[in-house]
Structure 1
Amino acid sequence: MSVASGTNMESMKTDLPPFPLIGKNPDEEPPRVRFAPSPTGSLHVGGARTALYNWLIAQGARVEGDTNASFIVRVEDTDVARSTKESEESVLKDLEWLGLQWDEGPVTNGDFGPYRQSERADLYKSVARILLDSGKAYPCFSTNEELESVKEAQMKAGESPRYDGKWRDADPELVQQKIDAGDPYTVRFKVPKGARVVIDDVVRGTIAWDAEATVGDFILLRSSGVPVYNFCVAVDDATMGITMVVRAEEHLTNTLRQGLILDALGAPRPRYAHCSLILGEDQQKLSKRHGATSCNQFKEDGFLPDAMINYLSLLGWNDGTDREIFTRDELVDSFDMSRVNPSGAVFDMQKLKWINGNHLKMMSIEEVKPLILEQLIKHNVLNSNGASDSINRITLAATCLAKQMMVTTVDAATNAKAVLAYPLPQSFDDLSSVEPDEQKLIKSGAFYNVAKAIVAAYDAGVLPRPNEVNVMEPFEELNGELIVEDNATGGGAYAYPAAWKTFMKTLGKEMNLKGKNLFHPARLAMTGVMSGQDVTKQMALLQLACEFGSAVDLEGGLEVVPLEVRIEMLRGFLETIPEEFRVKKEEVVVKEVVQGKKGGGG
């Protein structure tokens, strides 16, 4: 039977393409692993984990001295209706953001390209022609209506739907007549009778299929001449010399078809490793309904690429210890596919945040500051058109303030907004806007007495406050890093933090208060919230925002409440507090708070 004149099979080469692994054992060759995304959307965390595991295999081999190990990206874009260039670019950008740089693939190219399936159509057709000529594939002229009728009959009989083999052993003359007449046909793979496919899966152990009973004769080329997914993948893996295929368990049935094709071509099969699916907390496959699932969204939400890499590696793998924090280099040294668990891995957002927070703490101020700047601008805290020196100082302060408490870089922007605002209720009747513990503090009388003393100190000009000289002092030491160039003028080093400490010590003595009974009311009076970060750091950031007003994004809706406005708001609120909540049961009388030099270093 000749098919050269068929509309689907014209102008095709008949030589078998080179298969680099012919006559070789893939396990003994330098690792050539691939990540093969379909450009139909963003890079999902499941795909990112697959890419990571493949990348780690190649990187680990290099560390051990195998310089020929390669991580390949191959774009599987045969689904013309859904594949877009924009999605491809998005996936590649996400891989770059994660730091998973490929050795061969789009942009970088290589010796086994092209690396987009849409650019390899002639190769697929030539291989299909070889399979046809060797009798391992055949033309099928069954119409969609005929196939649907067969499927319905099989389902009614309780059978698994599969092709009935009508054209498998058709009369060659009849086949040629239909080809010559221009009748449309698909090309089907002829599954050998009694064929079994057995693989030794790195993750799941031995898996065997009765090929004939499981899949039947499947399509290689559609009637339009477009190759189907499994055919493309098998041909690509063979011609690119892929030694191991690492992918999700949902591809197991694809492995059966691909194994049959590779066997028919005489190409060695790569090793296979089918990882578990990533699940939501409801044990269902992770999807958008579980929240963020795309790498781009995690990037937008302030997660670090190294933290994502760390967390994704743990979704099914461990190093045999309880360790959970790894640097990228440590993962390369530790990773081994033999320790990947076949059980489903649950995506835990809280654990990801915990890991991200740990990676942020591991970074230096200078490393994390550019990331914080990006978020401060994005979330309308800073105006990108402001003076660079002003922006730098505010960013440094916001970074230092949030460094030890943030779990994502977005938290620094959220924290800065909270510090610059003043969420004290407008009146005693408006206590629903504050937390229950704050309500209790206000009603106990402790807040009234401490706040009244702070207002009195401000009116007397003795409430410590930062100025242009000492405004950065609260951030002087963080993680052992010196961040202020000159603090030796204007009242001596650490004048503002020292003055505030002295003020609070004196206030506590005269009011017979200490610990949280003193500091919580003072923080609530100064910042509008009872708990939080060091008051001097918060006031320093506020001073910077007021001092460098052109650098903050007031037009974007940022609320900045200066200290003098806070004092007036506080004064007004104190007047609304009922008499029974103004004095504690011990009848503490508010005395003069601070004696000595006016200004207290501020």
Structure 2
Amino acid sequence: MSVRVRFAPSPTGYMHVGNARTALFNYLFARHHNGTFILRIEDTDVERHSEDAVNVIYDALKWMGLDWDEGPLKGGDFGPYRQSKRMDIYQKYIEILKEKGLVYECFCTKEELDKMRQEQLKRGLPPKYSGKCRHLTDEEREKLKKEGRKPVLRFKVPQDRTVIWKDLVKGAISIGADQLGGDFVIVRSNGMPVYNFVVVIDDALMEITHVIRGEDHISNTPKQILLYEAFGFKVPEFAHLPMILGEDRSKLSKRHGSTSVAEFKEKGYLPEAFTNFIALLGWYPKDGKEILSRDELIERFDIKDVNSSPAIFNFEKLNWMNREYIKAYDISKLTELIIPYLEKAGFDIEKFDRKWLEKVVEVTRDYLTVLSDAPTYMETFLKDEFEIEKDAAEFMDEDRLNVVEKFLEKVESLDEIDGDIFKKIVKETGKELKVKGKNLFMPIRVGLTGKMKGVELDILVSLLGKDRVIKRLHHAISKLKRREP
């Protein structure tokens, strides 16, 4: 049997971590089994729908490298792959249920349903549709329609039935028909079919073999199995993924930090690091290796190894993983990804030679947690006119300013400067002025960067070159002399 799985998000405007993991696990499962990964857009919620929201889904999947085999933008033999374009298909299956006598029109108003619920709660009973309209006569139905009532369509839940399935993550699950809230709605009063109905039709017609989704769907599964059986469809295998929690063990939300794929991308997490990290939310390779390439994830992934307990989203671990990926990334590709962050920070990248810029990325990348950190650490190389930080200015007295001026004299007498020459003239400066240690190196650092901390100075001057070193030292000396005592 060929494996066919689907990722079927609703376009709500953003793609959160839970969606991303569901998409990834479906993708890994499909690739591991040489199966088919399908994208289906569940866009029947007309009020919330927008094409921008659909594009958010496409962009997130493409950024994560999750290329789908069938679906929007790709096509396939089982389309359309957007629910809004499948209404005629759904209508056909609504008629089949009517012919089988498995559905009925319900005219209960919202007020009547609320009253029913409240009375049940008062009696200590779980809320459940009473089946009030199940046995209406034709005359009673016509009378209600003449009153202007627009009915919903309810599915007749078999009485005294227990729905049982073997979940690939959660194990054996059984839910009694009496826990389903009574006969459930499959078509709203406006004629729009509901999720539990259309998802069954779509999955059956698209020949989905495994439904891999979040555990919040467990309550939907028995209703869907009853519909599969009503149509005579083969029931797929189900795998319900554990919840993703924040480190305080509450449901992951905005208050824990970024939760949408777009936010992680914007902050400068590498897609490979983000995807690797997301893969470890609820699943862990048997060999314990954590930094895994796409091919390694595909090779090792087994849905049966997914833990049924909630997964904890650890930002510290994500940051560690992203740092590791940054350190190992191809320098040319890394530079390309960093450039937009530098441009956003106001740097004119066009005036810098590309190979030189790559060298700057090379010597600063070990300091980066995310790509948006790059302007902070690369500024030292890109900006010759800088402000003297407060602690640096307070550190500089007359003797320390003399160190900068003596060092400048020596640089100006050179033909060129590199790391070795830099170390030599620093040593000469210290010897002539009888200073060493912090009183020697720190004034030179302040003169070159305006800061008390930063990259190794021999690396900095090697990349700046003589002319820019001189320009910076003159700039710093001028600012330090102008400052108030």
TM-score (norm 2): 0.91
Q: 2:272 and 2:100 mapped to 1: Cα distance?
A: 50
CA contact (8 A) 1:465 1:539 kept: no
Q: What is aligned with 1:562?
A: 472
Q: What is aligned with 2:32?
A: 60
Q: 2:434 and 2:407 mapped to 1: Cα distance?
A: 17
Q: Which amino acid aligns with 2:9?
A: P
Give the secondary structure class of the aligned counterpart of 1:434. helix
Q: Which residue, 221, 226, 229 being the options, matches 1:263?
A: 229
Q: 1:517 and 1:269 mapped to 2: Cα distance?
A: 77
Q: 2:232 and 2:434 mapped to 1: Cα distance?
A: 89
Check 1:543–1:290 CA distance in 2 against 1; reply closer, same or farther (3 A cut).
Answer: farther
Check 1:125–1:381 CA distance in 2 against 1; reply closer, same or farther (3 A cut).
Answer: same
Deviation at 1:151, TM superposition (A): 1.5
Give the secondary structure class of the aligned counterpart of 1:274. strand
Q: 2:444 and 2:473 mapped to 1: Cα distance?
A: 14
Counterparts of residues 167-566 of structure 1 (less than 5 Å):
167-172=133-138, 174-175=140-141, 184-382=150-348, 386=350, 390-393=352-355, 395-419=357-381, 420=383, 422-425=386-389, 433-434=390-391, 442=395, 449-458=399-408, 461-463=409-411, 495-508=417-430, 518-539=440-461, 562-566=472-476
Give the secondary structure class of the aligned counterpart of 2:153. strand
Q: 1:286 and 1:41 mapped to 2: Cα distance?
A: 18
Q: 1:142 and 1:289 mapped to 2: Cα distance?
A: 40
Deviation at 1:359, TM superposition (A): 0.9
Q: What is aligned with 1:113?
A: 79
CA contact (8 A) 1:308 1:356 kept: yes
Give the secondary structure class of the aligned counterpart of 1:165. coil
TM-score (norm 1): 0.74
Q: Which amino acid aligns with 1:411?
A: D
Deviation at 1:324, TM superposition (A): 1.8
Deviation at 1:517, TM superposition (A): 6.7
Deviation at 1:568, TM superposition (A): 2.2
The 10-residue stretch of structure 1 (296-305 or 406-415) with the greater mean CA deviation from structure 2: 406-415
Q: 2:232 and 2:440 mapped to 1: Cα distance?
A: 81
Deviation at 1:289, TM superposition (A): 2.4
Q: What is aligned with 2:18?
A: 46
CA contact (8 A) 1:525 1:570 kept: no
Give the secondary structure class of the aligned counterpart of 2:56. helix
**Pairwise CA RMSD:** 2.8
Q: Which amino acid aligns with 1:462?
A: K
Check 1:241–1:515 CA distance in 2 against 1; reply closer, same or farther (3 A cut).
Answer: farther
Check 1:545–1:381 CA distance in 2 against 1; reply closer, same or farther (3 A cut).
Answer: farther
Q: 2:423 and 2:309 mapped to 1: Cα distance?
A: 55
CA contact (8 A) 2:419 2:461 kept: no
Q: Which residue, 31, 36, 46 being the options, matches 1:80?
A: 46
Q: 2:283 and 2:391 mapped to 1: Cα distance?
A: 44
CA contact (8 A) 2:5 2:30 kept: yes
Q: 2:356 and 2:343 mapped to 1: Cα distance?
A: 11
Check 1:90–1:179 CA distance in 2 against 1; reply closer, same or farther (3 A cut).
Answer: same
Q: Which amino acid aligns with 1:455?
A: E
Q: 1:572 and 1:311 mapped to 2: Cα distance?
A: 51
CA contact (8 A) 1:464 1:500 kept: no
1:132 and 2:98 matched = yes
Deviation at 1:345, TM superposition (A): 1.7
Q: 1:453 and 1:517 mapped to 2: Cα distance?
A: 8
Deviation at 1:532, TM superposition (A): 1.8
Q: 2:355 and 2:473 mapped to 1: Cα distance?
A: 19
The 10-residue stretch of structure 1 (401-410 or 48-57) with the greater mean CA deviation from structure 2: 401-410
Q: Which amino acid aligns with 1:325?
A: I
Check 1:180–1:202 CA distance in 2 against 1; reply closer, same or farther (3 A cut).
Answer: same
Deviation at 1:511, TM superposition (A): 6.6
Q: 2:178 and 2:466 mapped to 1: Cα distance?
A: 74
Q: 2:98 and 2:108 mapped to 1: Cα distance?
A: 17
Deviation at 1:179, TM superposition (A): 6.5
1:30 and 2:13 matched = no
Q: Which amino acid aligns with 2:61?
A: L
Give the secondary structure class of the aligned counterpart of 1:462. helix
Q: 1:214 and 1:415 mapped to 2: Cα distance?
A: 57
Q: Percent identity?
A: 39
Q: What is aligned with 1:476?
A: none
Q: Which amino acid aligns with 2:372?
A: V
Q: 2:178 and 2:413 mapped to 1: Cα distance?
A: 82
Check 1:265–1:370 CA distance in 2 against 1; reply closer, same or farther (3 A cut).
Answer: same
Check 1:278–1:359 CA distance in 2 against 1; reply closer, same or farther (3 A cut).
Answer: same
Larger Rg, first or second structure (1 or 2): 1
Counterparts of residues 2-13 of structure 1 (less than 5 Å):
none
